[in-house]
Amino acid sequence: MGRVSHGFVVLGRILRSCFTPDAVTFNSLIKGLCVESRIMEAAALFTKLRVFGCEPDVFTYNTLINGLCRTGHTIVALNLFEEMANGNGEIGVVCKPDTVTYTTIIDGLCKKGFVDKAKELFLKMKDENINPNAVTYTSLICGFCYANDWNEAKHLFIEMMDQGVQPNVVTFTVIMDELCKNGKMDGASRLLELMILRGVKPDTSTYNTLIDGYCLTGKIDRARELFVSMESNGCMHDVVSYSILINGYCKTKDVEEGLNLYRKMLSKGIRPTVVTYHTLFLGLFEVHQVEHALKLFDEMRRNHVAANTYIYTTFIDGLCKNGYIVKAVELFRTLRILKYELNIVSYNCLIDGLCKHGRLEIAWELFSSLPRVGLMADVVTYNIMIHGLCNDGQMDKAHGLFLDMEAKGLEPNFVIFNTLMLGFIRNNETSKVIELLHRMDMRNVMPDASTLSIVVDLLVKNEISLNSIPQFKRHK
């Protein structure tokens, strides 16, 4: 139990001494319960205030609304806000919401994706002559950015400055992040200049956002320049800074530079996370440095960083793609023995590797074992297995899998249709190709360039007639 329990001991003594606790006492207790995430107890105590002759004040409401939003009970918080603003029918309005109340509920609604309701309250707030502050605007801007409504976010940012409300470091960073995600690096760079001009000091998160943006747009040299300038501008690198730049180098296949950064962060006492290692493993497998990846995996364990499903899946996939199929199977079996729960992506990687290396029987066994381990094959699994069977000439089995996936409610995509059609062409079963084309049309699966190439090739060879091909019009 936390320190709030001591507060209840004091409350008991107050009551036994025939003193009446005031709102300040109850506010402290409600805040303590909220801090300890004992939100139901906080709400129950709130309802009992009047029993003790206390009326909740604006601080009481704000504390509970904040606690409810923080613990995901946003709708309950909204109901409490409405009661505060309008009364509950039995009694009138006890106290009116203030800037903190509106900001708290707006932030909570935005975090849950209810941006339209948040905007509605924002407008009501202004109608009530309650001035929004930087946190209010930032919460809304952040909400609209997450909702992919960039125009509304930009409008609020401009309005904020027009109203003389100074954006804070979080506001600038949120807008910057949105610009970076959309590849608008010139705009993001100008925003950094505006930020500094307005006397708002960029923090590590701001720099990380910009560095990530430059990496995403392939401007790795600019990202490195910004990374180097951080310390001279009074911002310390953190594990995220290093991980972002390492990822940038790995994406450009300059894994050696990524490893240099990894060694530098270790020398500075910055502990890599599982994300850092995952990025390096992806890079190493991409440039076929399998032995180096295996050594780094051992180093990761020595540094007490636990591998997760992403790491193991990356290893299974990387080993398979680099021809280390036996090692991939050994790793998979070890994880099964250790009762480690792998997901369908992990299974797909190994099944794909086995199919591509001619181990179709083992791939089939693994595919068949999925229900026993509580996993459902997805479209990717069926695509891999159908492709493997088609390449091996097992068309009846491949077509059976196709029918099985349809029966299970999975929608085959154009890749699966193309794979089956090519297999049937190799088996000289043109009628099956026509059948699949009509099935594609019936399922509203639009042909791609490969499908058209298959059809044109058959037409040129006079193996099918133009009248036998569906028109592929969208069906309702």
> What is the predicted pLDDT for the residue at 19?
46
What value does the mean pLDDT take over residues 295-304? Answer: 94
Banded pLDDT at 462 (limits 50, 70, 90) = confident
> What is the predicted pLDDT for the residue at 9?
41
Query: Is residue 54, in this structure, part of any structural domain at all?
Result: yes
In the chain, the number of structural domains is 2
Banded pLDDT at 21 (limits 50, 70, 90) = low
Distance CA 221, CA 215 (A): 9
pLDDT above 60 (res 445) = yes
pLDDT above 50 (res 193) = yes
What value does the mean pLDDT take over residues 278-300? Answer: 96
Structural domain including 419 reads 405-476
Query: Is residue 49, in this structure, part of any structural domain at all?
Result: yes
Residue type, 385: M
- Yes or no: say if 33 and 45 are a contact pair by the CB < 8 Å rule: yes
- Among the listed ranges 9-13, 234-238, 282-286, 361-365, which one has the minimum average pLDDT value? 9-13
Q: Is 377 left (phi over 0), alpha (psi -120 to 50) or beta?
A: beta
Query: Is residue 122, in this structure, part of any structural domain at all?
Result: no
> What is the predicted pLDDT for the residue at 119?
95
What value does the mean pLDDT take over residues 394-402? Answer: 94
Query: Is residue 214, in this structure, part of any structural domain at all?
Result: no
**Residue 332 CB partners (closer than 8 Å, separation 6+):** 316, 342, 346, 350
DSSP labels, 271-311: PP-HHHHHHHHHHHHHTT-HHHHHHHHHHHHHTTPPP-HHH
Q: Which residue has the tokens 């076929």?
A: 288
**Residue 103 CB partners (closer than 8 Å, separation 6+):** 132, 133, 135, 136, 139
Banded pLDDT at 24 (limits 50, 70, 90) = confident
pLDDT above 90 (res 80) = no
Tokens of 279: 């990025």
Banded pLDDT at 11 (limits 50, 70, 90) = very low
Q: Which of 97, 114, 149 is the last residue of a domain?
A: 97
Query: Is residue 275, in this structure, part of any structural domain at all?
Result: no
Query: Is residue 150, in this structure, part of any structural domain at all?
Result: no
Query: Is residue 370, in this structure, part of any structural domain at all?
Result: no
Q: Each residue of 112-145: pLDDT tens digit?
A: 999 999 999 999 999 999 999 999 999 999 999 9
Sign of CA dihedral 47, 53, 55, 56: negative
Query: Is residue 144, in this structure, part of any structural domain at all?
Result: no
Q: Which of 97, 125, 158 is the last residue of a domain?
A: 97
Q: Which of 79, 97, 115 is the last residue of a domain?
A: 97
Residue 68 is part of a domain; what is its CATH number?
1.25.40.10
What value does the mean pLDDT take over residues 73-94? Answer: 77
